[in-house]
Amino acid sequence: DVKVTQSSRYLVKRTGEKVFLECVQDMDHENMFWYRQDPGLGLRLIYFSYDVKMKEKGDIPEGYSVSREKKERFSLILESASTNQTSMYLCASSIPGQGGQPQHFGDGTRLSIL
Amino acid sequence: AQSVTQPDIHITVSEGASLELRCNYSYGATPYLFWYVQSPGQGLQLLLKYFSGDTLVQGIKGFEAEFKRSQSSFNLRKPSVHWSDAAEYFCAVGEQYGGSQGNLIFGKGTKLSVKP
């Protein structure tokens, strides 16, 4: 079974801090994704990556950056955390494929910015 | 642009009753379609997927979904709901354009409550 592991289930940080969310997958998947999930808004794509050192902006990249130095690891960075970034963050991975492929999700990180 | 609509934000059914969750998508050709389930505090788990072939697909946990091209729908069904099915359900469609290599577009979700 594919396993996607997010480093923290719960995280509390202060406004202005630089925050790192880590995600590791063990199935050698090329694609990795970061979403945020808010009530009533569903999943919104922040960034995705098709390969090592490659990244693409999703629908809501403002205030975030990402890093993919190794194939199995995809990090989400909040450069200067703000209260409106309090949310559930979900990481996912998949194989590439035109038209969409099943994504495998981690358990999520619930981030609170105080 | 492609989109996915789940018309029902919240549905309540009695345990043992049948269930149908609605999903409509917008796309001209045959899409790749998915249903996911999210239990409270957890990530999303794939229930089933449709790529081609038989329009009725079976998934895990006793769920099935039917692709209806004429209605642009991919509704999720279960004949008898169990209390453990209480969760949020997301429909998704594969993104279809030249540069896409696996992105999914998700609906906003339907929250299912189960009455004893």
Tens-digit pLDDT profile for residues A31-74: 999 999 998 899 999 999 988 989 999 999 999 999 999 999 99
Query: Least CA distance to A43: which residue of chain B?
Result: B106
Structure tokens at A108: 């999520």
Residues of chain B with pLDDT > 70: what percent?
93
Q: Is the pLDDT of residue B98 over 70?
A: no
- Which range of residues forms the domain containing residue B79? 3-115
- Give the C-alpha separation, A21 to A7, whole Å: 7
- Give the C-alpha separation, A41 to A32, whole Å: 21
pLDDT value at position B99? 54
Residue from B37, B38, B44, B100 whose CB has the most chain A CBs within 10 Å, to mutate: B44
CATH classification at residue A78? 2.60.40.10
B98/B109: higher pLDDT: B109
- Contacts of A57 by beta carbon, 8 Å cutoff, 6+ apart: A47
Confirm or reject contact between B108 and chain A (CB < 8 A): yes
Give strand pairing partners of B36: B46, B90
3-state secondary structure of B62: helix
Query: Least CA distance to B94: which residue of chain A?
Result: A100
Range scoring the smallest mean pLDDT among A7-21, A60-74, B72-86, B92-106: B92-106
Instruction: Choose among A71, A80, A64: nearest CA to A15.
Output: A80
Q: Is the pLDDT of residue B6 over 90?
A: yes
Q: Which of the given ranges, A96-100, B23-27, B62-66, has the highest pLDDT on average?
A: B62-66
Total number of domains in chain B: 1
Total number of domains in chain A: 1
Contacts of A106 in chain B (CB under 8 A): 43
Q: What share of chain A is helix, strand, coil (3-state, %, to 5)?
A: 5, 55, 45
CATH classification at residue B91? 2.60.40.10
Q: Is the pLDDT of residue A99 over 90?
A: no
pLDDT value at position B103? 82
Structure tokens at A38: 């808010």
For residue B40, the 8-state DSSP code is T
Instruction: Choose among B33, B38, B36, B37: nearest CA to B56.
Output: B33
Chain B (49-68) residues lying within 8 Å, Cβ to Cβ, of chain A: 49, 51
- Give the C-alpha separation, A94 to A92, whole Å: 7
Contacts of A105 in chain B (CB under 8 A): 36, 43-45
